[in-house]
């Protein structure tokens, strides 16, 4: 366990994660049409929910999936953020606020991508982060408000940023706790 395998990319969870890449590529071309942009956001969100659920439900959690999922998430989010800044729907500061969770998680994502032991541990004990899911909901609401140029956008951005900080701290707490436990579940 803990080894990247190309074949894991063509299993259902891998394909669902990878589906966010063409969605990211399409987003800039539809951002001026809020309904279509929202449809792409919903499709990306559903693929993110379904890949994890499917992997856990059907025993297809793999180190490859644990690494590729956050990478495709970050690429999709980056594309949306740049598009919204370039179209003046969000300021760079608002994007920075919306990115608190991603920025806080980035060192963990890099560690997961480079550490055989971390990948094995993550694949053996997959779990969702409830604060992370809540932050995602508010990020989605803020981006939707920005697409439609609603006046509630900034308030939603601030709430998403606060939840993002809490979610990133929760990810760090969990990673540090898991780092103190060996493969048998015993404290080191």
Higher-pLDDT residue of 17, 129: 17
Higher-pLDDT residue of 181, 180: 180
All domains of the chain in start order, with CATH: 6-179 (1.20.120)
Q: Is the pLDDT of residue 182 over 60?
A: no
Which pLDDT does position 187 carry in this prediction? Answer: 39
Residue tagged 């779990």 (tokens): 127
Which pLDDT does position 184 carry in this prediction? Answer: 46
Residue tagged 């993002």 (tokens): 164
Which pLDDT does position 161 carry in this prediction? Answer: 96
Q: And the tokens for 27?
A: 């987003």
Which pLDDT does position 71 carry in this prediction? Answer: 87
The predicted model gives 110-126 an average pLDDT of 65
Confidence of residue 176 (pLDDT cuts 50, 70, 90): confident
54 phi and psi angles, rounded to 5 deg: -60, -45
- Reported for 132-138, long-range contacts at CB under 8 A and 24+ positions apart, including other chains, are 132/101, 132/167, 132/170, 132/171, 134/163, 134/167, 135/101, 135/160, 135/163, 135/164, 135/166, 135/167, 136/45, 136/48, 138/163
Which pLDDT does position 165 carry in this prediction? Answer: 95
The predicted model gives 166-182 an average pLDDT of 77
Q: Please, are residues 44 and 23 in contact by the beta-carbon 8 Å criterion?
A: yes
Which pLDDT does position 88 carry in this prediction? Answer: 96
What residues pair up with 176 in beta bridges, in sequence order? Answer: none
0.85 exceeded by pTM: no
The predicted model gives 79-103 an average pLDDT of 94
């Amino acid at each position: 366990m803990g080894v990247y395998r190309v074949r894991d990319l063509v299993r259902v969870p891998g394909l669902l994660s990878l589906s966010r890449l063409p969605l990211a590529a399409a987003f800039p071309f539809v951002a001026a049409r809020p309904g279509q942009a929202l449809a792409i956001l919903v499709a990306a969100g559903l693929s993110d929910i379904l890949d994890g659920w499917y992997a856990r439900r059907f025993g297809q959690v793999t180190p490859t999936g644990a690494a590729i999922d956050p990478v495709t998430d970050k690429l999709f989010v980056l594309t949306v953020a740049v598009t919204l800044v370039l179209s003046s729907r969000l300021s760079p500061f608002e994007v920075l606020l919306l990115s608190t969770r991603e920025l806080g998680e980035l060192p963990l994502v890099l560690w997961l991508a480079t550490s055989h032991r971390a990948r094995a541990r993550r694949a053996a004990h997959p779990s969702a982060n409830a604060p992370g899911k809540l932050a995602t909901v508010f990020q989605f609401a803020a981006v939707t408000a920005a697409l439609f140029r609603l006046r509630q956008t900034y308030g939603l951005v601030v709430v998403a940023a606060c939840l993002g900080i809490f979610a990133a701290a929760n990810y760090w707490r969990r990673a540090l706790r898991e780092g103190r436990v060996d493969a048998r579940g015993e404290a080191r």
